[in-house]
Structure 1
Amino acid sequence: MPPAGDAAALFQRAQALLPRIAHGAAQRERERELPYALAREVANAGLLTFRIPKAYGGPGGSMRDAIRFLIDLAAVDSNLAQALRPNFGLVEGLLFGQDNEAERQLWFQRLLAGQIVGNGGVERGGRHGEIRATIRRRGDHYVVNGTKYYSTGALYADWISSIALDEHGKETHFAVPRGRAGLELVDDFDAIGQRLTASGTTRFADLRVEADELRISYFPRDRRNPVTPLFQLYLAATEAGIARNALHDATWFAREKARPIKHSSAQRSVDDPYVQETIGQIAALVFAAEATTLRAAEAIDAAWADRLSNASLTEASIAVAQAQYFAVDAALKSSEFAFDVGGASSCDREYNLDRHWRNARTVANHNPRQWKAAVVGAWLLKGEAPPTTGLF
């Protein structure tokens, strides 16, 4: 589709597409059918471009706009929402970068044309975040060798972005077309949840990387930046969407499938006061999770408006940490409460209600929520700012 003129146009496209994504989502997870075509539809509709400025042909949306859409997407398919995370991080990094006009033009146009970026991600073994993949110069190009895991969205992507160490131990970023010889994408992600995020293994075997495929990193780990809070808030948005999806399924099950327990005062489950209470509890959790996540998005917008001052970026990180903590709790509780509206039949595999808890638990394990709470506590008690490790 042609680039959208503003965020409102993108939301209209999303509302037309989201019901199609919702249809069969539970079955896709149960059968482990990766939604390749749906990922392509999201990209073709321009829904990865919310934050691309109007000056580059994009809609010029706010962070709040982007996060609002991501909650909506996660509420119908949290796997697909998380799988597209690298694209939003790429845009934010380019916006943050300086003296990178050529790279902005290149990547913004690719995204506006419907192309998708995936991640040749974190490696297993060693210390968290340790990189052992290597990149070496060979004539007029470079060669990469190594193995990555947690390659979010790679199987859906046109471009694979990754990191390797050069001969001096310096992190070197690059992005190559997914069909390049020496690049192998393996569908072996085997977590209990989020199984369709295409987050499996990426192997580099003498992968050729051209000089113009090297990228500058706009994701510094030694100072505050707006990219890190986005990546973390993205996870909170996914959790908030999972909570809403659990509410949707619980409401449907109570209306269409459940029957009151024998000693209930009601003839229909929808009239049972405890079913009503349970739905109300889930609804309150969903309402609050979405509200806190959107408020944290506004904190990132405020940091941009404040020219990304250290103070405003710190406030944004604190806001995101709080939103993450609550969104995780809300998603886990909502997905557990969903079973309280029905009897034993709610556990039937055909309904796949357990996917909500499994998905919420898997997203939550990306970054322990205890650290989120502890960092906020340290800030309030001692004025100690969050770490700049890339997780806050």
Structure 2
Amino acid sequence: MTLTDSARRSTLDEARARFRPLFDVFRADAARRDRDRELPTDAVRALKEAGFGALRIPVHYGGAGLSLTEFTSLLVELAEADSNLPQIFRGHIAFVEEQLWAADEATRAEWFTRFVAGETVGNAWSETGAATVGSSETVLRRDGDAWRLTGRKYYTTGTLFSEWAEVTATTEDGAQVTVLVSTALPEVTVSDDWDGFGQRLTGTGTAVFDGARVEARHVTAFGDRFTYQTALFQLVLLSVLAGVAHAAARDAADELRARSRVYSHGLAEQARHDGQLLAVVGEVSSVAFTAGAVVERVARALERAVDLERERGSDEHRRAAAEAEIAAAQGQVVLSESVPRAATVLFNALGASATSGAKDLDRHWRNARTVASHNPVVYKSRIVGDWAVNGTVPPFIWEVGASRVQG
């Protein structure tokens, strides 16, 4: 399944040539869609039809066969065009990765055939309400030779745009599982009720399953999943942050270049030549550069874990998986602070007119701050420090829910 370096470069170049015209279209309309809260349904459809959901699928299944690092570079470009779009595919990206390691070849081929044809999987893992940490109120019950899924999920990013939802649930005997359920079933309802101030177009809302039928072959033990999944989920968010940084740098430069008004106590007759204002844009541009470098470094750390996943349990694999998790956490610690700050300081170069709602430049801060609020960064700082000082292996799976201790 391994491509030569020259073949990989050719494939990546072909993928860029295929998707960059789409990215240009998305970029031109991103601010308007954000202002109007118009879901990017057409953009997602165009990406699916062009094969975005199959970029990591090996060539002999009909995919592009991109390495994780190569694919990540496209995620950053897509995020620069519209930061909502890569996050929409986040659950799908992880499920494709899971299928790369599936023991059942028939199952792998089934899903890869669907994805090459343009189908995608959304994410439906999180719950709000009374469910305590480590538990799920979404239940899977036997129904003859199949199952029935009942429950309510929130933060179901991507499911609104997808043909399938990957859902975490508890069976009647208490087993923790993931299931694949068709979103076309009448017992499945997906709502766009995400009320966050950023990333408003990701379709991140509520999914309700009212006895939805699940095929037995679409039920998997949660503990069997690939080891670097949490780092992969974080890599997608880091790619979004890097894309936001690039978009903020682009817009800051464009706005300063076009600015005609100057201050009497400024440093130049044209704003574009004012050294103080140029320094601000230079700072934002530098953050974008750094963000891109950080994401590439994290992707390469995950690539090492990918290469060793077949040797799961070996000392070398455990070390690679831990280093990938730490790299993702280190990237989060840095970018969660630097990118929102860059999206704020750009206004120092552009003046009050840049706060116009028509420009929608505030979306960069709102989107970056929202993405940075996933997976609390304060815990990641502690985990990185514990690794650096004590060699403590980071947690690979974690959960969120109501505290078991009340009062």
Alignment TM-score, normalising by the size of structure 1 = 0.93
* 390 and 288 in structure 1: CA distance in 2 versus 1, 3 angstrom threshold: same
CA distance in 2, matches of 1:173, 1:149: 16
Report what 2:203 is aligned to. Answer: 198
Judge which range, 49-58 or 26-35, deviates more: 49-58
Report what 1:379 is aligned to. Answer: 387
Report what 2:59 is aligned to. Answer: 54
How far residue 280 of structure 1 moved from its aligned partner, in angstroms, is 0.7
Residues 1:164 and 2:169 are matched in the alignment:
yes
CA distance in 2, matches of 1:173, 1:253: 47
Partner-residue secondary structure (3-state), 2:148:
strand
Residues 1:361 and 2:369 are matched in the alignment:
yes
How far residue 103 of structure 1 moved from its aligned partner, in angstroms, is 1.4
2:121 paired residue among 117, 121, 139: 117
Asked if the contact 1:36/1:156 (under 8 Å) is kept, the reply is yes
* 264 and 6 in structure 1: CA distance in 2 versus 1, 3 angstrom threshold: same
CA distance in 1, matches of 2:13, 2:109: 23
- Stretches of structure 2 lacking an aligned partner (at least 5 in a row): 1-7, 400-407
1:73 paired residue among 70, 78, 95: 78
Partner-residue secondary structure (3-state), 1:24:
helix
Aligned residue pair count: 384
Residues 1:332 and 2:340 are matched in the alignment:
yes
Residues 1:319 and 2:327 are matched in the alignment:
yes
1:227 paired residue among 219, 226, 229: 229
Residues 1:9 and 2:14 are matched in the alignment:
yes
Asked if the contact 1:299/1:316 (under 8 Å) is kept, the reply is yes
Asked if the contact 1:96/1:218 (under 8 Å) is kept, the reply is no
1:68-217 correspondence runs (5 A): 68-97=73-102, 99-125=103-129, 126-128=131-133, 130-217=135-222
1:348 paired residue among 356, 364, 388: 356
How far residue 218 of structure 1 moved from its aligned partner, in angstroms, is 6.7
* 273 and 128 in structure 1: CA distance in 2 versus 1, 3 angstrom threshold: farther
CA distance in 2, matches of 1:276, 1:325: 27
CA distance in 1, matches of 2:350, 2:125: 40
How far residue 212 of structure 1 moved from its aligned partner, in angstroms, is 3.3
CA distance in 1, matches of 2:394, 2:31: 37
Q: Deviations over 1:56-104 (max 9, x none)?
A: 222221110111111111111111110111111011111233x221111
Q: Deviations over 1:183-220 (max 9, x none)?
A: 01111111010010001000111212232333454764
Asked if the contact 2:228/2:396 (under 8 Å) is kept, the reply is no
* 362 and 287 in structure 1: CA distance in 2 versus 1, 3 angstrom threshold: same
- Stretches of structure 1 lacking an aligned partner (at least 5 in a row): none
CA distance in 2, matches of 1:95, 1:384: 29
- Opposite residue 236 of structure 2, the aligned amino acid is Y
Asked if the contact 2:175/2:221 (under 8 Å) is kept, the reply is no
CA distance in 2, matches of 1:239, 1:218: 29
Residues 1:277 and 2:282 are matched in the alignment:
no
How far residue 330 of structure 1 moved from its aligned partner, in angstroms, is 2.4
- Opposite residue 395 of structure 2, the aligned amino acid is P
Q: Deviations over 1:145-176 (max 9, x none)?
A: 11100000111111122122111111232212
Partner-residue secondary structure (3-state), 1:75:
helix
Q: Deviations over 1:97-123 (max 9, x none)?
A: 3x2211110111111111121122310
Q: Which runs of 4+ in 1 moved over 6 A?
A: none
Report what 2:40 is aligned to. Answer: 35
How far residue 390 of structure 1 moved from its aligned partner, in angstroms, is 4.4
Identity %: 35
Report what 1:255 is aligned to. Answer: 257
Alignment TM-score, normalising by the size of structure 2 = 0.90
How far residue 143 of structure 1 moved from its aligned partner, in angstroms, is 1.5
Q: CA RMSD in A?
A: 1.8
Asked if the contact 2:56/2:63 (under 8 Å) is kept, the reply is yes
How far residue 233 of structure 1 moved from its aligned partner, in angstroms, is 1.0
Asked if the contact 1:255/1:269 (under 8 Å) is kept, the reply is yes
